[in-house]
Amino acid sequence: MKEQKTPLISHIFTADPSAHVFNDRIYIYPSHDIPHDGEDNDNGDEYQMQDYHVFSIDDKSDEVIDHGQVLHQDDVPWVSEQMWAPDVVYKNDTYYLFFPARDKDGIFRLGIAESKKPEGPFAPRKDYVKGSFSIDPCSFKDEDDKVYILFGGLWGGQLEKYRTGTFDPNGTEPPKNEHAVWPKIAMMKDDMSEFAEEPRDIVILDKDGKELLAGDEDRRYFEDPWMHKHNGKYYFSYSTGTTHYIVYAVSDNPYGPFTYQGRILEPVLGWTTHHSIVEYHGKTYLFYHDCEISGGINHRRNVKYCELKYRPDGTFETIVP
């Protein structure tokens, strides 16, 4: 595909792009920002997304197809508001859309909607995934066909409120000299009905084997988990949130622990940064968002992509947007 210099999607505001190759096309599953005049805050109240659109592209033309609205919060019985960053996985001849949203009590959960086509529309299940919490679900299907769901986000995503194992509305991040709040991973049952296990911590280490600390904001996890595999290694990439980097760590096991490697993407215009990585026709691409169209308004974002290159040792060349 041609190197992109402008936003991929400009007729609506989109963010948090999860990209996958299905049927020799790249399908993009973003969140859909809705313009409004509300204030920005650390709880993420400005992100009032209500529905999902699916987009697709290929390397035969520059056309980006908007397949239209494929799911709305009014279609999901358990949802009250804020359908944030989604992802999709293909298994059992079905495309499963994983998405976060607040339930009727204002607690973030993960839901599933299904389709027989990658472009949807998606039919939601009546209830959220049992035992799910927080935001930013990422689906990873390994070579043995096992599907893992990675998830979690601090602050508005409520991840730090589960440090005791159950939801504490007054839960906070740990002191800066303690280990960071870890994202979560859980294998799905083969029929994709629910988690096959209790979610586990994804522990991230420095190159000396020590756990990253909560005060290490240049490297510790904040939100936006993504996993892919390259040359037999599991790559776990994520956003540092407050310092606005996309960084990554590597392991020999999908459960980790993962060893921090470095940065993938330097800060973009706007507060949030959120990504996915996909291989297509022999090249690797990074999908991400910034706020170019809106001039920096945090809840009016636009999706972009660029080529991502490996060095011979398997590390990434850092991208400056």
What's phi and psi for 157, nearest 5 deg? Answer: -80, -5
CA distance 24 to 181: 38
Q: Which of 87, 160, 223, 290 is catalytic?
A: 223
Q: Say whether 142 is catalytic.
A: no
CA distance 77 to 176: 39
With beta carbons less than 8 A apart as the criterion, state whether 318 and 267 touch: no
Q: Say whether 16 is catalytic.
A: yes
145: nearest Cα among 183, 179, 200, 189: 189
Burial 173-207 (b: 16+ CB within 10 A, else e): beeeeebbbbbbbbbbeeebeebeeebebbbbbee
What is the token pair recorded at 117?
A: 């086509």
What is the token pair recorded at 301?
A: 């974002």
With beta carbons less than 8 A apart as the criterion, state whether 260 and 220 touch: no
Q: Which of 16, 33, 160, 290 is catalytic?
A: 16
Query: Would you name the residues annotated as active-site residues?
Result: 16, 223
